A = this chain, B = another copy of it.
């Protein structure tokens, strides 16, 4: 995903935010969105799918919110701090909830263990960017 960094660096507009932090957050968001999509599908294939319903639901929410957040954060033109802040906060909330739920299944299901890790990494990247947005 060196592309996210290259695209931040070649953007004709400037940004108030640190370019590495911005690119890292975009990468964490799109990776987490995809991991959650894959985890929801893996849960759906589990013989114990009836026990995975809450996990599937949070995976789907997390995938949707991370994907939307990645797009908002990726846009540098006519940057709006209020919108950026609010969407990062929503993303932190869902990543935290999804990490907690996936974490409960992580010992028996490797896909949930990896997904919980990805959610925590994404939550942390969003918290760091949120602090920078101020």
Min CB–CB distance A70 → chain B (angstroms):
6
**Can you tell how many copies of this chain the complex includes?**
4
Query: Which of B42, B50, B54 sits near A10, CB closer than 8 Å?
Result: B42
**B56/A44 in contact, CB under 8 A:** yes
Min CB–CB distance A131 → chain B (angstroms):
17
Using C-beta atoms within 8 Å of the partner chain, give the interface range for chain A. 35 or more
A to B CB contacts below 8 Å, 13 in the list: A3-B31, A4-B35, A10-B110, A12-B109, A30-B33, A42-B77, A49-B50, A49-B53, A57-B78, A61-B83, A64-B67, A64-B72, A86-B89
Q: Which 7 A-B pairs have the closest CB atoms?
A: A13-B45, A86-B93, A7-B38, A68-B68, A54-B78, A10-B110, A86-B90
Give the B-binding residues of A (Cβ under 8 A). Answer: 1, 3-4, 6-8, 10-13, 26, 30-31, 33-35, 37-42, 44-47, 49-50, 53-54, 56-58, 60-61, 63-65, 67-68, 70-72, 74-78, 80, 82-83, 85-87, 89-90, 92-94, 97, 109-111, 114-115, 118
